[in-house]
C-alpha cells in the first residue's frame, strides 16, 4: 500500500515540555518507533506539524537585536522543515537499516487571490497586551486580534492548491524511498505576475496540505496521527462519544473546533470524497492498529472497514535497498 501519514507538531514537542533539542529528538525517535513497522511493509510518506517549533523560532527572531526585521514566516517554516526533517530522517535510517530515506524541503502553492489574505485568522507567536500588540503591528506591519484575554499576531491561512515538489516525491516513492516532506503544511508560495514562485507571510494547514499531497500521489490511505485516540462527538462534554467508523457525510453533519479537530475532519473527508479510499484520525502510537481497523476513527465511502486484509501490499523495489 501507499500510505501518507501526518504527525502533529505536538508529537515532537508535547504540551508543557521545554523546547530543548534533546527533548524533541527523543520525541522524534518515539514517533519513528510507531511508524517504522508500517514503513517496513508499505510505501510511506510522512508529513509533520511545526506549530510549536515555528513559534519558538519566530519569538527568537523577533527578539534578536541584530535583526532590523524578524525573519518572515516562509523562511521560518523552511527552517523547521530542515530541523524536524533531520530528526525524523536519522531516526528512520537507524530503524530501517538498508532502506533509503529522504527528507526534503517543500513549497506549497496557494492562490494569491485566496480570500484568506484579506482576512487573516491564524494566530501565531506569543501573546501581548493590547497596547503592545498594536505598537508592534504599527512597527512591523502585522495584523493583530484579541485571543481570549490577550492579543496575538494573526496571519492568513490560505487553502493549499498543490505541493510544488509532488513529482519528485512520486519518483522517490517509486524507487522505494521513505519520504519526509511538507512539514508544517509546506512553505507557502504564490506565483507572481512574472510567473515566478515567491514566499508569502502565511501558514498552510498541515492536515489539508497532507490530504492534497495524498490525493496527488494516489495514496491508498491517509492517516492523520495526533495526541488523541479518535474523533469524538461532543468532545469535552458528559455526552462525548467515540466515532470509530464514519462516512464523510456523517462527519460533516457534526461540529468540530476550527483550531484543532476541524481541519483534520475536513482533510479526511476531502480525501475520501475525492478518491474513494481510506482515511483515519487517531493516536500516533496506535498507527498499526488504526490501519488494521482496531483503533482510531476510520473514514470510508460506506463507513465500513474490516482492515487491509483484502488490499494487496506494494512491495519495496529491491534495487532501492
Catalytic residues: 9-10, 122, 206, 264
E strands within the chain?
2-7, 43-48, 101-103, 107-109, 122-128, 143-147, 150-155, 162-163, 178-180, 187-191, 197-199, 221-226, 231-233, 241-243, 245-246, 278-283, 297-299
Residue from 243, 238, 300, 239 nearest 275 by CA: 300
DSSP string, 244-273: -EE-HHHHHTS---TTTHHHHHHHHHHHHH
CB 263 within 8 A of CB 320: no
Which residues on neighbouring strands pair with residue 48, listed in sequence order? Answer: 7
Q: Which cell goes with 198? A: 515567491
Secondary structure of residue 215 in the 3-state scheme: helix
The Cα 242–Cα 75 span in angstroms is 39
Secondary structure tally for the chain: helices H, strands E: 10, 17
Q: Is the dihedral of CA 56, 59, 63, 69 positive or negative?
A: positive
Q: What does the chain come to in residues?
A: 321
Amino acid at each position: 500500500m501507499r500510505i501518507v501519514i501526518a504527525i502533529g507538531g505536538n508529537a515532537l514537542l508535547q504540551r508543557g515540555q521545554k523546547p530543548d533539542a534533546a527533548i524533541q529528538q527523543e520525541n522524534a525517535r518515539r514517533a519513528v518507533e510507531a511508524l517504522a513497522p508500517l514503513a517496513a511493509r508499505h510505501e510511506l510518506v510522512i508529513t509533520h506539524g511545526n506549530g510549536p517549533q515555528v513559534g519558538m523560532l519566530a519569538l527568537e527572531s523577533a527578539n534578536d537585536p541584530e535583526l532590523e526585521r524578524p525573519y518572515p514566516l516562509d523562511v521560518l517554516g523552511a527552517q523547521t522543515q530542515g530541523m524536524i526533517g533531520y530528526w525524523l530522517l536519522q531516526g528512520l535510517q537507524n530503524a530501517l537499516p538498508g532502506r533509503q530515506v529522504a527528507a526534503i524541503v517543500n513549497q506549497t502553492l496557494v492562490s494569491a487571490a485566496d480570500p484568506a489574505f484579506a482576512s487573516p485568522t491564524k494566530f501565531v507567536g506569543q501573546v501581548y497586551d493590547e497596547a503592545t500588540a498594536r505598537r508592534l503591528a504599527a512597527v512591523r506591519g502585522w495584523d493583530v486580534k484579541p485571543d481570549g484575554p490577550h492579543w496575538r499576531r494573526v496571519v492568513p491561512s490560505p487553502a493549499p492548491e498543490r505541493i510544488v515538489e509532488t513529482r519528485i516525491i512520486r519518483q522517490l516513492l517509486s524507487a522505494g524511498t521513505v519520504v519526509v516532506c511538507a512539514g508544517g503544511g509546506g512553505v507557502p508560495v504564490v506565483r507572481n505576475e512574472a510567473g515566478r514562485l515567491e514566499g508569502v507571510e502565511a501558514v498552510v494547514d498541515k492536515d489539508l496540505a497532507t490530504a492534497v499531497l495524498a490525493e496527488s500521489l494516489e495514496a491508498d490511505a491517509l492517516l492523520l496521527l495526533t495526541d488523541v485516540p479518535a474523533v469524538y462527538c461532543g468532545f469535552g462534554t458528559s455526552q462525548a462519544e467515540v466515532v470509530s467508523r464514519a462516512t464523510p457525510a456523517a462527519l460533516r453533519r457534526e461540529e468540530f473546533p476550527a483550531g484543532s479537530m476541524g481541519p483534520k475532519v475536513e482533510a479526511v473527508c476531502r480525501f475520501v470524497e475525492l478518491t474513494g479510499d481510506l482515511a483515519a484520525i487517531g493516536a500516533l502510537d496506535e498507527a498499526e492498529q488504526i490501519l488494521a481497523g482496531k483503533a482510531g476513527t476510520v473514514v470510508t465511502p460506506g463507513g465500513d472497514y474490516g482492515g487491509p486484509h483484502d488490499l494487496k501490499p506494494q512491495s519495496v523495489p529491491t534495487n532501492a535497498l
